[in-house]
Structure 1
Amino acid sequence: MTPATEHTAQARKRAAVAGHLLRRPAVLYEQLRRQGSLVWSGSGGCWLVVGHEAARMVLRDERFRMPGADQNSEWGDGAGHGEFVRSLLLSAEGADHDRMRRTLGPAFSPRAVRARRAAVETTIGRLLADIGPDGRFDGVTAISGRLPVSVVGELVGVPEPERADVSELCRTISQGGGLASGRAGDDAVRDAIAALDDLTVLVRRWLADPVPDSVLAAIRAAAGTPQALSEVEAVANVFSLYLAGHDTSRNMISGLLLRLATVPELLDDLHEGRRAAEAEVERVLLTESPLTFTARLAMTDVEVAGQLIRRGDRLRVMLGAANHELVTTGQSAGPLAGVAFGEGRHVCLGAHVARLEGIALLTVVARRCAAVRLVGDPRWTAHFLHRGLETLPLEATWR
């Protein structure tokens, strides 16, 4: 075998392994779990937090913080757009975090979210009505890629005609900001900065006359008070809310559609009340965690699961693996048991919104559809941070 042939064979083998893990990450989670609650990754230069209790401890302990952007990038502290990253609710700490959470939080309270259920169900009904008479559709394109953008757009207060454009701006910012996949290339950074400038102009205009009962209206109302957000903070959190809709909610909804298509009795059980939509949403959040990991940095020496973590050590909290432990050990009974949306002060602000979307989806689909079937092979997104589907070919039979 020549070196070139051997290299090709190794590349194919790595691609096959990666493809298998994308389809069934539980295999990797189980391998990690056998090594203990905390596993050192030499290739990643970080600790993998695998155990459920260890994950909860790290997420809740304020001695661990988000690591922030690459200090040598445009987005690092002291750089041109470092303030934008520090202004994200996920990155902010201390008094700044508490101030922003007090302003943004009321729109995401359980009561406020429940009040939006009828509107969310109406949106889902419209999306189903767009499916052709043959009942064939791609679940990602037709439903899970559109529903979260509509819901978060209404919640934030983005005018409907501009929501698709805002989604593209936010994705461009994410890709060029190095926020999810390390340092970005020069072209991506330039595109991200241009997109951020465009988004800032839009947010400025929306804040001048915000939609009532929206996040932007809450930001406008807080102006001149101790809870006021700066313009950069307002833009940063519009961005992060939209990004969560793109990724976490979309991936969760895709997982629910796949489950409807692969568990034949589920649709009838939901329709007849033999199963609760809430329980099915929690099951998918545990078994198909939409975000597979999140990062933390140790601010001081801390002991985790019997292992001393040194100040400056990086940790990757494996949310999917932590939830997998609950499933495989039978500890998953009860609502809100997993860590799919994190825990502690940085728990996902939109967790109740995502759950509402899932519950409303199952409710409306069970009401409208007699069956949902796979008509092709689902394709998982080739990204180990996000556990989601790229395509999901389905066919529905209407009631």
Structure 2
Amino acid sequence: MDLQGDLIHHPHETYLRLRDTAPVQRVAGATGEPAWLVTRYDDVRSALADPRLSLDKVNAAQGAHRGLSLPPALDTNLLNMDPPDHTRIRRLVGRAFTPRRVEAMRPGIRRTADELLDALGTEGRTDLIASYAAPLPIAVICDLLGIPDDHRRDFRVWTDTLIAPDPRRPQAAGQAIGAMLAFFTELIAHKRRHPADDLLSDLIAVRDGDGDGDRDRLGEDELTSLAFLILAAGYENAVQLIGNGVHALLTRPDHLARLRLDPSKLPEAVEELARHEGPALLAIRRFATEDMTIADVTIPAGETVLLSLAAANRDPARFSHPDRLDFDRDTSGHLALGHGIHYCLGAPLARAEVEIALAALLDRFGSLAPAETEPRWRRSLRARGLLELLVDYKTAQPLT
């Protein structure tokens, strides 16, 4: 059985089988390293908050982690940290993603969405990923960090290369890493000389200022890595949530029609779309700091543990009829954006972006239909996202 191939091409069907027969399964990771895959909701949720599972690679056994190698200036980020460093850095940047701060960003996000839709004209065919779902979150994150407009296209190429490397171009990922590191190094130096009203300038001030001792300080690698993570994660989560969400609606015309008639249902729809077809198949890998047992399976210290958010979110033990898209279900507790101390820092912003993106799209186009029946998904064990989404559209006709 080609388990890795099944997980890439048929993730939900494969996760269903594993939940029933092998809820903790030995698998080969993306680069061939052995790992333990956990698929049941209760086990995944508990493990996400278990301090015995570390994100820090120093806790990996010899040869247990052979993932993409990043330089320290990009790798010293929240996805590789445990407390207390994780707590310190998350506290420093968390103020940028509070519900109040995100609420103030909503008008700007809607203006950007409307501008992107303006560029499409009144009717035609478009790849909605390239023309809308991707450029919207890139614009939002670049505005937040204070990144010039002329670099947005570069960032999409670099980030897409890292999310789903092309095996035919093994050097591309390294080139993207080098380009991003060079850019952020230069940008940080520029903003040190010319600070502005943006998050990156604020983080530089924290790095260079007196602060409150070590409690409110950033190292230089931490600063660069944090900017990189905010950009990459902010883009990846939002573009896939938007793209996957639109695809789900287009293949369920009754759900699409319901949102047109009752836009107030959008917040609940966004939560259900995230549960049903969220952006992350797996949480960031973890390493057991001691021998531990999950679902009667002993995992030795140092070994890699992969927690399947997608499998947990379709576990019938937690969500009734989990493969059904249901805007009236209770989605509380879904794990699309994580759980515990590593819960997605940008979750309020991601939710706002998806809600606004869907609202603007439905307001603009009275006719929206898939131009092809077979979607093309990224070839990835980790990320669930569309490579393209071709749609035919026509502007809504005003009532007379």
TM-score, normalised relative to structure 2: 0.83
Instruction: Give 1:319 deviation, angstroms.
Output: 1.2
Out of 10, 13, 16, the position equivalent to 1:30 is 16
Q: 1:347 aligns with which of 338, 343, 347?
A: 343
Question: In the alignment, which residue of structure 2 is the partner of 1:198?
Answer: 183
In 2, Cα distance between equivalents of 1:133 and 1:84: 42
Asked whether the 8 Å contact 2:38–2:308 carries over to 1, the reply is: yes
What are structure 2's unaligned runs of at least 5 residues? Answer: 323-328
Taking only aligned residues, the RMSD between alpha carbons, in angstroms, comes to 3.3
Q: How far 1:160 moved relative to its partner?
A: 2.2
- Asked whether the 8 Å contact 1:171–1:243 carries over to 2, the reply is no
Is the contact between residue 267 and residue 370 of structure 1 (CA under 8 Å) also seen in structure 2? no
**Alpha-carbon shift at residue 275 of structure 1 (Å):** 6.2
Counterparts of residues 44-193 of structure 1 (less than 5 Å): 45-66=34-55, 68=57, 81-82=71-72, 84-85=74-75, 87-170=76-159, 174=162, 188-189=173-174, 192-193=177-178
In the TM superposition, residue 356 of structure 1 has moved relative to its aligned partner by 0.8
User: For 2:297, which of 307, 311, 315 is the aligned residue?
Assistant: 307
* Residue 395 (structure 1) aligns with: 392
Q: Structure 1 residues 325, 211: closer, same or farther in 2, change over 3 A?
A: farther
1:134/1:190 Cα in 2 relative to 1: closer, same or farther (>3 Å)?
closer
Instruction: Tell me which of 306, 328, 344 is aligned to 1:316.
Output: 306
Residue 259 of structure 1 pairs with residue 244 of structure 2: no
Q: Give the TM-score normalised by structure 1.
A: 0.83
The answer to whether the 8 Å contact 1:50/1:318 transfers is yes
Give the secondary-structure state (helix, strand or coil) at the position aligned to 2:334.
Answer: coil
Contact in 2 for aligned 1:298/1:310 (Cα 8 Å): yes
For the residue of structure 1 that corresponds to 2:315, the secondary structure is helix
The alignment status of 1:334 with 2:330, answered yes or no, reads yes
* Change in 2 beyond 3 A, CA 1:181/1:306: farther
Structure 2 CA distance for aligned equivalents of residues 298 and 21 of structure 1: 23
Q: Secondary structure at the match of 2:392?
A: strand
Paired residue for 1:40?
26
Residue from 221, 224, 227 that aligns with 1:235: 224
Match in the other structure for 2:353: 357
CA contact (8 A) 1:260 1:372 kept: no
Q: May I ask how many residue pairs the two structures share in their alignment?
A: 375
Q: Secondary structure at the match of 1:384?
A: coil
- Counterpart Cα distance in 1 of 2:166 and 2:46: 25
Give, in whole Å, the separation in 2 of the partners of 1:96 and 1:239. 17
Provide the C-alpha distance between the structure 2 equivalents of 1:210 and 1:91, rounded to a whole number of angstroms.
28
In 1, Cα distance between equivalents of 2:233 and 2:189: 21
Match in the other structure for 2:325: none
Q: Residue 207 of structure 1 contacts residue 216 of structure 1 at CA under 8 Å; is this kept in 2?
A: no
Distance 1:191 1:151, change over 3 A: closer
Alignment partners' CA distance in 1, 2:184 and 2:159: 8
> 1:288/1:317 Cα in 2 relative to 1: closer, same or farther (>3 Å)?
same
Task: Summarize the Cα distance change of 1:67–1:49 in structure 2 as closer, same or farther, 3 Å threshold.
Answer: farther
Distance in 1 separating the partners of 2:252 and 2:228: 36
Structure 2 SS opposite 1:90:
helix
Q: Which amino acid aligns with 2:146?
A: G
**Which residue of structure 2 aligns with residue 220 of structure 1?**
204
Give the unaligned 5+ runs of structure 1. Answer: 1-12
Q: 1:395 to 1:238 in 2, by over 3 A?
A: same
